[in-house]
Chain A
Amino acid sequence: MAPNPLSRKLRLGLLQVETRLGDIAGNKERIKALMQQAHEQGVDLAVTPELATLGFGSGDIYLDKVDENLMALEEIREFAGDLGLWTIVGFVDRTPLGFFHNAAALIGDGKIQGKYYKVQLVNYRLFDEKRYFAPGHRLPVFSTPFGRIGILICEDVWFPEPARALTFRGAEILIVLSASPYTTTKVKTWQNFLQERVLDNLLPVAFANQAGIQDGVTYWGGSMVFSARGELLAMAPLLEEHLLVVDVDLEEARTLRRRDLRVREVRREILEELLRAYDEMTRENG
């Protein structure tokens, strides 16, 4: 296949899984079934929502089922290897010292190519992530046969800085794994946040959200992809399990950046000033 220099398509498959909290065997089967479908539709990169193996929802269940979730990840890795499907999976990782992380694994060629740990843990209203997880501190960009990929998890994308760092590291697309609970107007709020990250960074952004209800909390689904121009390319239905397959052009960002200066004219002095301002704020309030 001759490469078209003006277009480089990545076929994404967002696996909008209807997870059930603690039902790791069931969640794993649901993930694998959607991976199979994604493979059949020629998907290059499949993405699950946040904590797809375990399910989301505050509760000490996270502490009980980490081993089982790690075994499920192994099985998904093997399955991805059999399919030859690159896959990003949301799961709970455990370090040798026994720290837990809200994590994403990038699986390619049947191997774990890298891991990402959520940097902005959520601890307001119904959320209680700091009770369980340690925050990540690194924002790596992963090389794949399809392009350079930056991974973020849910709340990470409500802040401009993580996406910015991935942009500076040469990410060609931002992949966001999420388990976002519904409240009125939440869908629009998320669209705004995703679009803001796109417009800041001139990058396509893909968002894979959970579907389903647990203890009266609804994960609203609606997985979606924005082009580097900020257009909504596709959106999955709300509330239901769904596989959303979308072709994303990774060259568009480069074209846009020829005349749009928002990335290449970021000034080091201003970033340093930002850090100084941050230090002042935390010193005065911390």
Chain B
Amino acid sequence: MMNGRIQPELPVSELPVITRILVKSIQTRVEKVGAKGGLVALSGGIDSSLVALLTQQALGDRMLALIMPEEGVTPEWDLRDALNLVEQHQIPHRVIAINDAVALFQSYMPDNDFPEAVRRLALANVKPRVRMILNYLYANLLGYIVVGTSNKTELLLGYGTKYGDLAADIYPIGDLYKTQVWQLAEYLGLPANIIKKKPSAGLWKGQTDEEELGHTYAEIDRVLFCLVDLELSVRETAQVLEIPEEAVQDLYQRVIRNEHKRRPPTITRISSMCLDKDWRYPVERY
């Protein structure tokens, strides 16, 4: 029944309706909370470019794309791709370099007490958190919601910074694997250089996601799709995809370890109406 070609592909005939659903979900939240529009942090990568286009389809000019390069780290082609996109689609935008803010936080780091790798990661996480602060600064000023750009692959692997790039009001593409994001981006006519370039979280110079994760997104998505959507065990996934069990186990452990990034903070239950356990209300209600 199974074969090695399993992958999470969106049915091509449903790409139009999926697009409309994503667009409508952005409109619905903005309407429901009485916001004036939506803000997208645009890096020039594929996820944020796709979300920016969807947000524009949903809200027209009632949006802002914040482009927040870190000079010397953000590759110039990313900045160029972001600027080309907003110009081509006439998306309201603003460019703010985050270097000063990052340097300020860096100045608070203690000297030499921590191994280099730990320092590097802690500082790397400051960058998306600085961007988050700017997102909400502008969102508050404008009365906008923050439209998140995380996808299903990142959410499952925890490949994102808590209260950084993961901080948002909605995740319109949060149920799409990275390879499905590529598919939808192609369907919506995003520029080829945005689709084709190597994905990078841009946390340090020369970083690429696939190198850091140790697998290509195509490989990762096939494994996650088997584990999560097809509900196969680690062993079954390895058999079906004809790959070593250890590789699957490694990704599976990552998924488990990162549950905390997909949830609001856990509340210790004392009353019989604990707000994250007993109290069950959707956000979009009347």
Interface set of A (CB-CB < 8 Å, partner B): 20-24, 26, 55, 57-61, 128, 131, 182, 184-185, 212-216, 218, 220, 238-239
Asked if B17 CB lies within 8 Å of chain A CBs, one says yes
**What is the bound-complex CA distance between A220 and B282, given in angstroms?**
19
A239 & B284 in contact (Cβ 8 Å cutoff): no
**What is the bound-complex CA distance between A59 and B284, given in angstroms?**
11
Q: Which 8 A-B pairs have the closest CB atoms?
A: A23-B286, A22-B286, A215-B282, A22-B285, A213-B28, A59-B282, A21-B285, A218-B21
0 or 1 for each of B13-51: is its CB under 8 Å from A? (1 = yes): 010011011001100100000000000000000000000
Asked if B170 CB lies within 8 Å of chain A CBs, one says yes
B286 & A60 in contact (Cβ 8 Å cutoff): no
B24 & A60 in contact (Cβ 8 Å cutoff): no
Task: Write the nearest CB–CB distance from B91 to chain A, whole angstroms.
Answer: 23
Which parts of B268-282 form the interface with A (CB within 8 Å)?
Answer: 279-282
A21 & B14 in contact (Cβ 8 Å cutoff): no
Closest residue on chain A to residue B26 by CB atoms: A213
Asked if B10 CB lies within 8 Å of chain A CBs, one says yes
Is chain A's binding surface mostly helix, strand, loop or mixed? loop
A239 & B282 in contact (Cβ 8 Å cutoff): no
**What is the bound-complex CA distance between A102 and B41, given in angstroms?**
42
B283 & A20 in contact (Cβ 8 Å cutoff): no
Closest residue on chain A to residue B14 by CB atoms: A184
A214 & B284 in contact (Cβ 8 Å cutoff): yes
A239 & B17 in contact (Cβ 8 Å cutoff): yes
Task: Write the nearest CB–CB distance from A40 to chain B, whole angstroms.
Answer: 28
Task: Write the nearest CB–CB distance from B278 to chain A, whole angstroms.
Answer: 9
Task: Write the nearest CB–CB distance from A60 to chain B, whole angstroms.
Answer: 5
**What is the bound-complex CA distance between A182 and B25, given in angstroms?**
12
Which residue from A21, A58, A185 sits with its C-beta under 8 Å from B286?
Answer: A21
A239 & B24 in contact (Cβ 8 Å cutoff): yes
Please tell me the number of chain B residues within 8 Å of chain A, measured between CB atoms: 20
Known: A213-B21, A218-B21, A239-B20. A60 touches B14 (CB 8 A): no
For residue A22, which residues in chain B have a CB less than 8 angstroms away from its CB? 285-286
For residue B170, which residues in chain A have a CB less than 8 angstroms away from its CB? 216
B21 & A26 in contact (Cβ 8 Å cutoff): no
**What is the bound-complex CA distance between A21 and B280, given in angstroms?**
13
Closest residue on chain B to residue A182 by CB atoms: B21
Asked if B11 CB lies within 8 Å of chain A CBs, one says yes
For residue B286, which residues in chain A have a CB less than 8 angstroms away from its CB? 20-24, 26, 55
Known: A21-B282, A59-B285, A214-B284. A184 touches B18 (CB 8 A): yes
Which residue from A23, A24, A61, A131 sits with its C-beta under 8 Å from B282?
Answer: A61
**What is the bound-complex CA distance between A239 and B280, given in angstroms?**
26
Closest residue on chain A to residue B281 by CB atoms: A59
Closest residue on chain B to residue A64 by CB atoms: B281
**What is the bound-complex CA distance between A220 and B14, given in angstroms?**
12
Closest residue on chain B to residue A21 by CB atoms: B285
For residue B284, which residues in chain A have a CB less than 8 angstroms away from its CB? 20-21, 213-215
Which residue from B14, B28, B281, B282 sits with its C-beta under 8 Å from A185?
Answer: B14
A59 & B280 in contact (Cβ 8 Å cutoff): yes
Task: Write the nearest CB–CB distance from A256 to chain B, whole angstroms.
Answer: 31
Task: Write the nearest CB–CB distance from B83 to chain A, whole angstroms.
Answer: 31
A218 & B282 in contact (Cβ 8 Å cutoff): no
Task: Write the nearest CB–CB distance from B54 to chain A, whole angstroms.
Answer: 13
B11 & A57 in contact (Cβ 8 Å cutoff): no
For residue A216, which residues in chain B have a CB less than 8 angstroms away from its CB? 25, 170, 175
For residue A61, which residues in chain B have a CB less than 8 angstroms away from its CB? 281-282, 285
Task: Write the nearest CB–CB distance from B12 to chain A, whole angstroms.
Answer: 11
A-B contact pairs, 19 of them (CB 8 A): A20-B284, A20-B286, A21-B282, A21-B286, A22-B285, A58-B280, A59-B281, A59-B282, A61-B281, A131-B280, A184-B10, A184-B14, A185-B11, A212-B28, A213-B24, A213-B284, A214-B28, A215-B282, A239-B24
For residue B279, which residues in chain A have a CB less than 8 angstroms away from its CB? 60
Q: By CB atoms of chain A within 10 A, which of B14, B281, B282 has the most?
A: B282
Closest residue on chain B to residue A25 by CB atoms: B286
**What is the bound-complex CA distance between A57 and B280, given in angstroms?**
11
**What is the bound-complex CA distance between A212 and B21, given in angstroms?**
9
Closest residue on chain A to residue B172 by CB atoms: A216
Known: A184-B10, A184-B11, A214-B28. A58 touches B282 (CB 8 A): yes
Closest residue on chain A to residue B27 by CB atoms: A213
Q: By CB atoms of chain A within 10 A, which of B10, B17, B170, B175 has the most?
A: B17
Closest residue on chain A to residue B171 by CB atoms: A216
For residue A214, which residues in chain B have a CB less than 8 angstroms away from its CB? 28, 282, 284-285
Task: Write the nearest CB–CB distance from B285 to chain A, whole angstroms.
Answer: 4
Known: A184-B10, A184-B18. A60 touches B25 (CB 8 A): no
For residue B20, which residues in chain A have a CB less than 8 angstroms away from its CB? 238-239
Closest residue on chain B to residue A212 by CB atoms: B28
Task: Write the nearest CB–CB distance from B61 to chain A, whole angstroms.
Answer: 22
Task: Write the nearest CB–CB distance from A21 to chain B, whole angstroms.
Answer: 5
